Copies of this chain bind each other. A is one copy, B any other.
Amino acid sequence: MKKDLNFGGWSCPLPLSNYPTIVLGHGSGGKMMADLIQHLFAPQFNNEMLAQMGDSTILKIPAGENNELKLAFTTDTFVVSPLIFPGSDIGELAVNGTVNDLAMSGAQPTYLSAGFILEEGLPMGLLGQLAGSVARACQEARVQLVAGDTKVVEKGHGDGLYITTSGIGLIPPGVNIAPNQARPGDAVIVSGTIGDHGIAIMSVREGLEFETVIESDSAPLNGLVEQMLAVAPDIHCLRDATRGGLAAVLNELAKASDVGIVFDERMVPVRPEVQAACEMLGFDPFYVANEGKLVAVVPEKDTEIILAAMHSHPYGLNAAQIGKVVETHPGLVLARTGIGGSRVVDLPAGELLPRIC
């Protein structure tokens, strides 16, 4: 009988049944969240556009004869704790997160909406300060907040403030960036040091003190992407390395494009203080969340010109090629280690740092 079994395209509904209730790991950006989406949400919403699995969804809207507009549309919910942390706060994060998801489709982010869930007892001054952060972040990213909603829940049914932002961006003609566009031979680039955001949150939450304060890297990346596209419009994939970190992004791209990815651990920029904190806490920096870093997969011939463009932008100063796309081991990510070996870098399983964004 066994030889009749065909595991191609097989998807196992079991993992979910191990969890009769939601646990924190389901919000991790790792395997548990992927299971939840694949087994619980996706079967209900079986449509082509959700299946794009990009950071934002590309909508093609008819506009007059033989013309169509390409819009990017995305939504992000922010439950980060604490509300204010070194280098940023939930207001700025909520704008930059959605701006970046739009930018990862090559779109120029244009319009934003924000839904606020306020907990009874939230100090009015704090709300004013965070609304100010939202406004300043919109200004820096050159987007307009055009719609909003506010709800209040009783004390003990929220955590001060949750924000959900959604955004619309315009995709310039000729741009075709998607997670399934990586091709063997392509270069894999990161835009700067990784792990800063996660460690910044963790250090305040755990009361850790370092010689230097580690700050979140929260930043809008649309300007950087614009500069990259100006020198090389044929960028294949872009993804910001948020929940699940660099490791999750590389795995998602490898799977979506059905290619292998190999990278050199030593080429990945990590601040020494972040590296030290990771060692102390037992974290692998490749899995730690970022809020202002992107991974780009680009044609090999364009690597130098793109890196030069990135280095000339404030959010790309430390950009570096870390690896390449290969034909072998499709769907798998391998890291060359410092001592000459190599290891599989898998999706994170459960929850590394809950409520990181």
Residues in chain A within 8 A of chain B (CB atoms): 16, 19-27, 33, 36-37, 40-41, 44-45, 47, 49-50, 56-57, 59, 61, 63-64, 67, 69, 71, 73-79, 111, 113-125, 127-128, 131-132, 134-135, 138, 144-154, 156-159, 162, 164, 166, 168, 170, 354-355, 357
Contacts and interface: CB of A to CB of B under 8 A. Distances in A.
Given A20-B124, A21-B122, A134-B44, A27 B150 contact: yes
13 contacts: A16-B124, A20-B125, A24-B154, A27-B153, A44-B135, A57-B111, A67-B67, A73-B111, A77-B150, A115-B164, A115-B166, A151-B357, A154-B355
Interface centre among A116, A128, A156, A164 (most CB of B within 10 A): A164
Contacts of A153: 27, 79, 159, 162, 355
Contact of A73 (B41, B59, B78, B168): B168
Tell me if A's interface is mostly helix, strand, loop or mixed: mixed
Nearest to A32: B152
Contacts of A41: 131, 148, 150
Contacts of A147: 50, 56-57, 73-75, 166
Contacts of A158: 157-159
A103 to B, nearest CB: 15
A132 B79 CA distance: 24
Given A26-B150, A135-B44, A158-B157, A117 B117 contact: yes
